[in-house]
Each structure stands twice: as C-alpha cells, then as structure tokens.
C-alpha cells in the first residue's frame, strides 16, 4: 500500500496571504466541517459522497469488474452515454491513465476496448461520425442518467440502441447494454426493467458531479482497464486525512480556506494549471465541480484551466500582465511518465545542444518552475498540488481532495454547494422552442422575443 500522499505547496501564496490570515479561519472551517460530516448543512441530502470511499460495497465492485472482463472479451468499443457529472469524472480518469493515442491503436493499451463518449452535447456531426465508426465494429453501451429523460443522453441512447439492435439483434443487444440509473424510478429505470438490461444504481444521496466513485464513474473506468480498487484505496486514504479539520494538517481544507480568502481580496478567477496533456479532462471535471457548486446567488470564483506550456503561448500574456483578478492552482506530477531524451547534434542549428542528454520531463519541470516564478513576480498568487506520480491511487486521492475542498469552500462562501438551480434555465427555453408538450405559453413568448431580436441591428 502506498504511504505517500498528495501535498499542497503554498510557498507562492504568501505574497498575497499570510499563514496567520489562513489559520484565523479555523473556527469557520470547523463549523463547515461539522456541517459536512453531520450532513446538517444546506444540501445535506446530497452528502453521501463524504464517507463514500470507506463504504463502497465489495459486491458492487466485483459486479463492475465482471462487466469489465466481459466487454474486454466481447467488444472493440465501449460507448459511455452521459452528460456533466455522468461522464466527466470517468473521462478524466480514463484519459489521465490511458494511452494518449488509444483510439488509433487496435484496442486500448491495457487490452481493454477503446472508450467513446456520446450524449454530452447535441452536435449532429459528432454523433454521425460516431455512428458510422461503430457500424463496422462490435460495441457495448453504458448509458448513465438518473431520470433517462435528459435530452442530450436520451437522444444519443435512442440512436445508439437502434444501431446496436440492428447490428446484433434485440436479444444480443440486451447483453451489451448496461444501465446506470435510479434504483426505483425514472424512464430509464423502467426501460431497463422492461428490456432486462444489467443495471447499476446511482445513489440518491450523491449528486452527479460528486459521483465518480459510484458506478457512474467506476463502470466506464473499469471497462477502460483502470484498476478501480487502487482508485478507491486512494480515495479512502484521502478520506482518512481529510477527516481532520485542522488547517495545519488538512491540505484540502487549507486550499479551500486560502481560495476563499483570495476571493474576499478580489481574486475572482482561479486557473487550474496542468503540466501534462493527460490531465486535460481532469481540469474539465474540476471546472464543473467548482463552477456548478459555487456559481450561484451572484457569488463564486470563476474556474478556468490552462495547459503548460501550450497556453503560455496564448493565454500567458494575459496571465502575466492582465487585470490582477486571478490566482493559480498548479497540478504538478513529481515523477511523470515517459523518458524522452534530447540528443546532441553536430551542427546545432536550432541551438538546443545545451539541452543534450536531458529528459523532456526535466525541461517541462523547469518550464513550470520558471512560470511559477514569473507569475509570482507578476502578482499572481499560486498553490501547487504535488502528486507523487500519475496512477490510480494518487488520482483517487486527488478526486477526494477536490470533492471535500469544494464542499467546504462552498459552505465558507455561504452557498449550497450541492444544488444547481441555474442549470434548468436553458432547458426550459429549449423545451419550449422544440414544442414540448406543456410549454406552449412559454414557446409563444420566446418566439416573440426571438422575432424582436431578429429585427434588431445587424452589421
């Protein structure tokens, strides 16, 4: 069992905050810690994730692994249908730990099927291309939805289920469709019961963006060949040290407290700076986690993400010299994968011989160090999350770190971190414009608004 843990380096934060300011929040932190663990705060009905790592059912894990073993033998592609928290956590882990170019290999580098995602937007070309690709291959489906009526995944499931049944027949398709949904109700639950699909349960007390350690995330992650037991053990390790509310010993709580103090000082934007492309979708999961949890009641830090060194050649100028309303959190892998050494060349026309013999990861590390120093000189405070290496165990720690930090941070901010009332606004308008029954009056009002806009000024 791994004894190391991820650590928070806040050295470059002290230009903007003192340790005394952070530690002065200890009483507030302890109050919010109690709200989380007693499930007595706003949104308490959705706090099942707080102690989830320690109570994940071994039988459920065995069932998930059995499905993963089945699809590894029987299919070339595994299609995950979901949107928001129903797919981002799984995709974050799969892309962090999988082969960078798995989709151009015959199968995923673990021997598992290649993983594809659908139902996370409404773009016709994407889904047309996916249907064309799958038409010539053996594939299975994992559809993830609490209700089964969320527009984006429901459309994708209808199309993909029809294709699968056409290819292999209704009886065989029944064996290749796996449903993750509510235990008792909803359109998808009813369909799964009627069709006889293998089902997994979304816990009622865990919201979508906190659900990666439930079957919502664990089934796709296992199907991709990731050792989910190690992911769970990492989260359990983090849960143990996160139970301590002392800011001097709990890096997740220190992070939550520091970001709230920065917000109170006018730092309204947080940039998650990643140093490895494999973490790109982890940053997308992080953006949803904090954006949907904190962005309400006219409050909230805006979560953005940049990739080093790519975005230093695009967003780097703004970060260095733009309005001083931001701070950074850096994800730093201490021992990254991939040894690619730079050779010496006799002519040295590109001037790179001073790097001869160095590993590209060494160059990347110095680029990060130089960036952190430059941003500190440019009055951009930063914290660095130090990850010993990028594997399932430490990724499990990182997931729980951000989940517990987000819950505490939302309570410090004074909002309910476990609802998302603003998400419904676009849905109501979309339903009305698409002539869904029950939205007739709204449709007429919206069409009038669109007509008025259409007669406006256009260049």
Strand order in the sheet with 198-201: 114-118, 77-81, 139-144, 177-181, 198-201
User: How is residue 396 annotated by DSSP?
Assistant: H
Task: Find residue 304's DSSP bridge partners.
Answer: 271
Residues paired with residue 114 on neighbouring β-strands, in sequence order: 77
Marked catalytic residue, from 297, 427, 428, 444: 427
R_g of the chain computed on alpha carbons: 24
Active-site residue flag, 167: no
Is 292 marked active-site? yes
Element (H, E) at 229: helix 228-242
Active-site position among 20, 59, 184, 313: 313
Distance CA 33, CA 41 (A): 10
Alpha helices in 169-214 (DSSP H): 170-176, 187-195
Contacts by 294-299 with C-beta closer than 8 Å and gap 24+?
A: 294/406, 294/409, 294/410, 294/413, 294/415, 294/417, 295/422, 296/415, 296/416, 296/419, 296/420, 296/421, 296/422, 297/414, 297/415, 299/413, 299/414, 299/415
Per the CB < 8 A criterion, the answer to whether 282 and 271 are in contact is no
Residue 344 main-chain phi, psi, to 5 deg: -85, 145
Number of H helices and E strands in the chain, helices first, is 17, 10
Q: Which of 181, 341, 328, 315 is nearest to 262 (CA)?
A: 328
Cβ within 8 Å of residue 361, ≥6 positions away: 336, 338, 339, 340
Q: Where are the alpha helices (DSSP H) in 414-458?
A: 424-433, 440-454
Catalytic pick among 72, 152, 292, 403: 292
Least Cα distance to 21 among 234, 212, 260, 245 occurs for 260
Q: Is 301 exposed, middle or buried (0-12, 13-18, 19+ CB in 10 A)?
A: buried
Q: List residues with catalytic annotation.
A: 292, 313, 427
């Amino acid at each position: 069992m791994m004894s190391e843990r991820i650590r928070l380096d806040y050295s470059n934060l002290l230009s903007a905050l003192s340790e005394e300011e952070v530690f002065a929040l200890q009483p507030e932190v302890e109050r919010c810690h109690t709200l989380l663990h007693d499930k007595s705060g706003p949104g308490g009905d959705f706090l099942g994730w707080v102690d989830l790592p320690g109570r994940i059912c071994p039988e459920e894990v065995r069932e998930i692994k059995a499905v993963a073993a089945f699809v590894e033998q029987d299919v070339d592609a595994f299609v995950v249908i979901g949107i928001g928290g129903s797919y981002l956590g799984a995709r974050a882990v799969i892309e962090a730990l999988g082969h960078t170019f798995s989709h151009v290999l015959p199968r995923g580098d673990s021997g598992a099927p290649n993983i594809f995602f659908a139902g996370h937007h409404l773009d016709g070309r994407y889904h047309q291309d996916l249907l064309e690709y799958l038409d010539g291959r053996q594939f299975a489906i994992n559809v993830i939805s609490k209700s089964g009526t969320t527009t984006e995944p429901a459309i994708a499931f209808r199309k993909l289920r029809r294709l699968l049944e056409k290819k292999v027949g209704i009886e065989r398709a029944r064996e290749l469709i796996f449903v993750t949904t509510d235990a008792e109700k909803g359109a998808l639950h009813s369909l799964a019961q009627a069709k006889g699909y293998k089902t997994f349960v979304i816990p009622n007390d865990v919201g979508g963006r906190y659900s990666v350690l439930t079957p919502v995330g664990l089934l796709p992650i296992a199907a991709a060949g990731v050792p989910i037991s190690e992911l769970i053990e990492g989260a359990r390790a983090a849960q143990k040290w996160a139970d301590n509310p002392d800011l001097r010993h709990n890096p997740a709580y220190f992070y939550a407290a520091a970001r709230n103090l920065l917000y109170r000082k006018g730092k309204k934007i947080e940039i998650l700076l990643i140093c490895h492309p494999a973490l790109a979708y982890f940053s997308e999961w992080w953006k949803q986690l904090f954006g949907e949890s904190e962005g309400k009641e006219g409050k909230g830090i805006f979560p953005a993400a940049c990739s080093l060194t790519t975005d230093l050649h695009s967003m780097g100028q703004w970060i260095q010299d733009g309005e001083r309303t931001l701070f950074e959190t850096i994800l730093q892998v201490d021992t990254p994968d991939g040894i690619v050494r730079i050779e010496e060349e006799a002519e040295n026309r590109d001037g790179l011989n001073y790097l001869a013999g160095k590993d590209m990861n060494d160059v990347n590390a110095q680029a990060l160090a130089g960036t952190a120093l430059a941003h500190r000189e440019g009055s951009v405070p930063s914290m660095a999350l130090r990850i010993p290496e990028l594997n399932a165990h430490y990724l499990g720690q990182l997931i729980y770190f951000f989940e517990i930090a987000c819950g505490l941070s939302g309570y410090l901010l004074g909002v309910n971190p476990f609802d998302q009332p603003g998400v419904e606004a676009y849905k109501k308008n979309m339903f009305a414009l698409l002539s869904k029954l029950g939205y007739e009056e709204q449709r007429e009002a919206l069409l009038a608004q669109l007509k008025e806009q259409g007669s406006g000024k256009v260049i």
